[in-house]
Structure 1
Amino acid sequence: MTDKPLAGQVALVAGATRGGGRGIAVQLGAAGATVYVTGRTTADSRSPMNRAETIEETAELVTAAGGRGIAMAVDHLEAEQVRALVARIDTEQNGQLDILVNNVWGGDPLTVWDAPLWEQSLDDGLLVHRSAVHTHIITSWHALPLLVARRRGLVVEVTDGTADQGYRGSFFYDLVKSSVIRMAQAQAEELRPHGITALAITPGFLRSEAMLDHFGVTEDNWRDGVRKDRHFVLSETPTYVGRAVAALAADPDVHRWTGQSLSSWQLAKVYGFTDADGSRPDWGSYFTDAVIKGVDVDPRTYR
C-alpha cells in the first residue's frame, strides 16, 4: 500500500484550529490529501476561545506532513461564510470534495458540569447547541451537494462518546454530543443511495492543547497530569483520532461503517495504527474497568 493513499483527494476539516480537528487535518495531509482547514482564530484575530493556535498554523502542519494545507477563516454559524467556503472549494478543485469532517465545537467555556439544567444559563446552553450542532448542519447543507454530484465520499461527525454511552454529565453537553451521533446516522440514510458514507467518531481522553494547559503540563511531561486526574494516564494525542479518520478515508470498504458510532481505540485495533508515541491506548476498555466497574487496574495493560 502506498504511503500516500489519499493523494489526489480533497478534504474539508471544519473546526481545525486545534485539538482533534488539527490532528485529523494533519493526518489526512500525511496521507497525501489537500485539506481545507477552517476556524475562527487566525494570525490576525482570535475567536472568543482566546487561544493562540491558528488555522494558518494548522495548514502549515498539513503541508509539512506531506499534504497541502489551505486555511480559510470561517464562522460556521454564518451560512454565507460557509457558502463562500464551499464555493471556493468547488472552483479551486473543479467540484471535487471527497472528505467532509464536521468537528466544530466551541462549547468549553459555556459548559457547566456541576448544576442541573434548570440552574444553568439558558442562553449559554442554547449557544452551546448552536455552536456545536447548528454549525454541523449548516456545513453539511452547503457541502454535501459536492459529494452527491460525484456519488462518492466520506462524512465524519466528530463527537465525544459512543452511541451506547450513558449520560455525559451535563444536560447541554450530553444533548449536543448525542445529537451529533444522530446526525451521522441520519446523513448515512440519506446519503446511502448516492454511495456516500457518513459516520460518527470519538477520541478517548483527548490530550489537546487546551487539556494540557488545564492540567498545567506539556506534551513532554504530560504524565504529571495524573496528579490532578489519575485517568489522564490513558489520554491520547490528537494524532490518534487523526490516524483513525485517515484510515477510514483510505479504506476502499469504508461503507461497511456507515451510520455507525466509532472510536479511536476501536479503529486502532481494526486498522493497526498507533498514537504518536507508538502506543495504542484503549480508553474504552480502561474506562469500563477502572471507572464504571471500579476495578483496581494496571493502566499499562490498556496502552
Structure 2
Amino acid sequence: MAKRRFLVLGATGQLGGALCELAAKQPYWEVRGLSHTDLEIRDAAAVRGAIAAFRPWVVLNATAWNHVEAAETDPGSAFSVNAAAVAVLARVCREMHAFLVHFSTDYVFDGRLARPYREDDPTGPVNLYGLSKLAGEEAIRLITPRHCIFRTCGLYGGRRSPRAKPNFVEAILARAARGEPLKVRSDLVCTPTSAPELAEKVLQALQMELVGTFHATNRGHCTWHEFAAEIVRGRGLRVEVTPIAGDENREGARRPAWSVLDHAALAAAGVRPMSPWQEALAAHLAA
C-alpha cells in the first residue's frame, strides 16, 4: 500500500514533535515536519510553496501564537498567526486537496457552564487569545469541508525546541528547583493533557478520516493549584504549593474559570478515551 504524505507545521513544538515522532513509527505515513525556522506560517507564498512541493494527503497545523497575556496588548500578532494565517492555510489545503487538521483551545468558551463543554455549546471567549483561536476555527469551517479541529486544554510533554517557552509542568519544576515560592490559582479548573497521548488520538481519528470539531483531553479535571501540587508530589519534592485566587479587577487577560471539555463525541466516533490526567502526568514525570 502506498504511503500517505503527512505534513506537520510547527514540528518542533511539543504537540508537533509528538505527532512527527508517532507518525514516523507507522508504516503508512511518509512524514515531513516543518519548524518555524523552516516555514513562516504568516508567509502565504511560502506556505503555498511548501504544500505544493510535498503534496501531502494531510496537513497538521500545530503552530499557534499562545501568549495569552501579550495578546491583550498585541492582538495583531495573535490574529495574524491564529486566524489570518489559518485562513490562508485552509484555502491552500482546499485547492491542493489536502485534509487539514488544526488544534484549538478550551479558551473559546467563557467558563460559565456547570458541566463539561460539548462541541456544539455556544462559544464566548473572555480574552483576545481565545477570540483569535475561535476566528481560526471559523475560517476553516467556512473555507474547507475536509478538516478536523481538535480543541484541547493544559497541554504539556513531548519533545520540542529548547527555545520554546516552558509549559506548566516545566515551569513548576524549574521554580521548585530554584526554591521559589509556588503560588498557583485554585479558582480555575482545567484538564491537564499529555501531548503524546493527544497525538495518538489524532492519528486514530485520521485513520478513521473523521471530519468536524472534537474535544480531546485526558480524563478528569483539577484546579491549576491541584495540578501543580501533583507535579511536585510526583517528583517527590518537599515544596509547598499555596492556593491563590485571581483578581478580576487587575489589568490583563481574563481566564475562563471552568475549562473542562466533554470528549464523548470522539469516543462515540470510535476513538478510545485518553487516560486519567493523573496517570498521564505520572507517566510523563517517570519518563
Same structural fold, with TM-score higher than 0.5 when normalized by the shorter chain: yes
The equivalent of 1:125 in structure 2 is 75
8 Å CA contact retained: 1:181, 1:261: no
Measured after TM superposition, the shift of residue 262 of structure 1 is: 3.1
- 1:105 partner letter: A
* Secondary structure of residue in 1 paired with 2:170: helix
Measured after TM superposition, the shift of residue 34 of structure 1 is: 1.6
Q: How does 1:152-231 map to 2 (within 5 A)?
A: 154-161=99-106, 162=119, 164=121, 166-170=123-127, 172-187=128-143, 190-191=144-145, 197-208=146-157, 210-211=166-167, 212-216=169-173, 228=184
* Secondary structure of residue in 2 paired with 1:201: strand
Measured after TM superposition, the shift of residue 167 of structure 1 is: 3.9
- Alignment RMSD (CA, Å): 3.5
Gaps of 5+ in 2: 107-118, 161-165, 219-262, 283-287
The equivalent of 2:63 in structure 1 is 104
Asked whether 1:26 is paired with 2:16, we answer no
CA displacement 1:78-135 (0-9 Å, x = unmatched)? 1222122123214xxxxxx211212221232xx328xxx9xx42xx111110021122
User: Which of 124, 130, 134 is the matching residue for 2:84?
Assistant: 134
CA distance in 2, matches of 1:227, 1:30: 40
CA distance in 2, matches of 1:11, 1:178: 25
* Secondary structure of residue in 1 paired with 2:154: coil
8 Å CA contact retained: 1:28, 1:246: yes
Change (3 A) 1:164 1:180: farther
Alignment: residue pair count: 207
8 Å CA contact retained: 1:205, 1:232: no
The equivalent of 1:260 in structure 2 is 213
CA distance in 1, matches of 2:198, 2:152: 6
Greater per-residue helix proportion:
1
CA distance in 1, matches of 2:184, 2:46: 40
CA distance in 2, matches of 1:281, 1:185: 31
Greater per-residue strand proportion:
2
The equivalent of 1:86 in structure 2 is 51
- 2:201 partner letter: A
Q: Which has the higher contact order (CA 8 A, sep 6+)?
A: 2
Identical counterparts, % of pairs: 13
CA distance in 1, matches of 2:139, 2:95: 17
* Secondary structure of residue in 2 paired with 1:260: strand
User: Which of 1, 9, 16 is the matching residue for 2:4?
Assistant: 9
